[in-house]
């Protein structure tokens, strides 16, 4: 994304043109950025060619998943809906892993029928249900066990998953119990140990710690695992500072690990693949002066992009048409929803805005549209995929008639 003739442009189209044609708010993704992210991700770990399973929860658009599939990626899913969507996008079952703490009987039955690569179980009770279904169907089911390594991912507490107080995975003792159970079962083929310690991780050290814990457990457990699924969580740079995960160090730690353990590595990245490919474009409806600051009331709201309200997440916010005039008042960018947390960002020294101007909220490809809702009975925005100068509609704008 860059300014060409003062207009913010993605690939070969400027957002102003798109807004004129499709209205606002809209989500817009860049295909070339997506390709670049996938290539970078593959390159970072090329010495051991992992199986990369895209975390569908980060973006569930079937067209985007289809593009991701064409790059050779599989899918990490956490519900029947996501599993069906991954299959619809054409991802082969032997490249799908299924995580989640509360998979129901029906979800597990469907996954078993589809013969997906792995069901990553997160409790002894879940293993019992898998065993029961497999027995009924006279099948042997490939299973992973998700370990809770009690590692602090050093990220937001709301998106941290690998500490013992988090509901995810099982502790070392339960892990061993499940291994013993699986070994005695004719219907379970224990293939994988999985971990995922959190999301938006920018420090490689928690990953090193996680690998140490996994290594220790593998040393103690007398079982040969074929796969180690290291989850996702690789953070991206949301800020203007240059923050990034040190992939070289993470890669080195994994290579070290692989010297001791002959296993195939699986990753489940979401944000690092799709996060910075997406932008939310919104129009200023009204500007309200409240004395100290001005409220910039946008036509996008927390139902379209929940991250700031939910986590206090920061998203770079830019004018779609650049000018040199700077406002002397603080701007608070808000949506029309009846909640005080319906607020995107507060900025000082933003360029002077007027009603009907366009605003770009950046890096919303992951957990943007997938977390959206119809709160206040607002229809969901249209999604567009830009390929060079081509604009593809990849999800229509929801109509009021569909939700009323
Ligand atoms: N694997 C598992 C088991 C997960 O739970 C997650 C994310 C991922 C993979 C993908 O993580 P990623 O590479 O995208 O960090 N809504 C939050 C993020 C929640 C992440 C949930 N699990 C946000 O907007 O930041």
Residue-wise pLDDT for 372-394, tens only, equals: 999 999 999 999 999 999 999 99
H-state helical runs in 71-147: 80-88, 105-114, 124-136
What's residue 332's pLDDT?
Answer: 98
CB 51 within 8 Å of CB 265: yes
Q: How confident is the model at residue 351 (pLDDT cuts 50, 70, 90)?
A: very high
Token pair, residue 216, equals: 């220790």
Alpha carbon of 198 to ligand 1 centroid (Å): 7
What pLDDT, in 10s, does the model give residues 64-111?
999 999 999 999 999 999 999 999 999 999 999 999 999 999 999 999
CB 110 within 8 Å of CB 130: no
Q: Which residues are catalytic?
A: 338
The pick from 199, 238, 250, 269 for probing ligand 1's pocket by mutation, whose C-beta has the most ligand atoms within 8 angstroms, reads 199
Q: Would the CA dihedral through 116, 118, 124, 127 be positive or negative? A: positive
Indicate if ligand 1 lies below 6 Å from the C-beta of 151.
no
DSSP 3-state assignment of 377?
helix
Q: What are phi and psi of 89, to 5 degrees?
A: -75, -5
Q: How confident is the model at residue 152 (pLDDT cuts 50, 70, 90)?
A: confident
The CA distance from 214 to 199, in Å, is 19
State the DSSP H helix or E strand holding residue 344, giving kind and residue range, or none if neither. Answer: strand 343-347
Indicate if ligand 1 lies below 6 Å from the C-beta of 76.
yes
Indicate if ligand 1 lies below 6 Å from the C-beta of 366.
yes
Instruction: Please state whether the predicted TM-score (pTM) of the whole model is above 0.85.
Output: yes
Distance of CA 343 to the CA centre of its chain: 22
Q: How confident is the model at residue 154 (pLDDT cuts 50, 70, 90)?
A: confident
């Amino acid at each position: 994304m860059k300014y060409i003739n003062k207009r913010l442009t993605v690939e070969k189209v400027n957002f102003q043109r798109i807004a004129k044609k499709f209205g606002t708010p809209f989500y817009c993704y860049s295909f070339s950025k997506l390709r670049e992210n996938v290539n970078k991700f593959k390159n970072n770990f090329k010495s051991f060619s992992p199986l990369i399973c895209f975390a569908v929860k980060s973006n569930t658009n079937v067209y985007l998943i289809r593009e991701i599939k064409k790059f050779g990626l599989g899918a990490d899913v956490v519900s029947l809906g996501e599993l069906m969507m991954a299959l619809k996008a054409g991802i082969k079952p032997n490249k799908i892993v299924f995580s989640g703490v509360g998979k129901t009987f029906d979800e597990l039955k469907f996954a078993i029928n589809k013969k997906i690569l792995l069901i990553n179980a997160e409790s002894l009770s879940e293993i019992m249900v898998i065993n029961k279904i497999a027995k009924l169907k006279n099948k042997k089911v490939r299973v992973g066990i998700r370990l809770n390594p009690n590692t602090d991912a050093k990220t937001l507490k709301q998106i941290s998953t690998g500490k013992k107080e988090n509901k995810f995975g099982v502790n070392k003792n339960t892990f061993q119990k499940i291994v013993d159970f699986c070994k005695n079962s004719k219907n379970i083929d224990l293939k994988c140990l999985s971990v995922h310690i959190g999301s938006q991780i920018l420090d490689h050290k928690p990953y090193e710690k996680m690998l140490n814990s996994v290594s220790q457990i593998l040393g103690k457990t007398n079982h040969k695992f074929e796969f180690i699924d290291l989850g996702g969580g690789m953070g991206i740079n949301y800020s203007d500072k240059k923050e990034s995960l040190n992939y070289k160090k993470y890669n080195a730690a994994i290579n070290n690990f692989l010297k001791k353990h002959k296993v195939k590595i699986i990753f489940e990245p979401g944000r690092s693949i799709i996060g910075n490919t997406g932008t939310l474009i919104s129009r200023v409806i009204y500007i309200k002066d409240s004395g100290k600051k001005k409220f910039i009331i946008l036509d996008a709201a927390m139902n379209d992009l929940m991250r700031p309200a939910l986590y206090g997440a920061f998203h770079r916010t830019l004018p779609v048409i650049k000018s040199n005039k700077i406002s002397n008042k603080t701007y608070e960018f808000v949506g029309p929803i009846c909640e005080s947390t319906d607020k995107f960002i507060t900025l000082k020294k933003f360029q002077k805005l007027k009603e009907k101007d366009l605003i770009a909220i950046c890096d919303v490809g992951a957990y943007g549209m997938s977390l959206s809702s119809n709160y206040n009975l607002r229809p969901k925005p249209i999604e567009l995929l830009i390929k060079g100068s081509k604009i593809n509609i990849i999800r229509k704008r929801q109509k009021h008639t569909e939700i009323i």
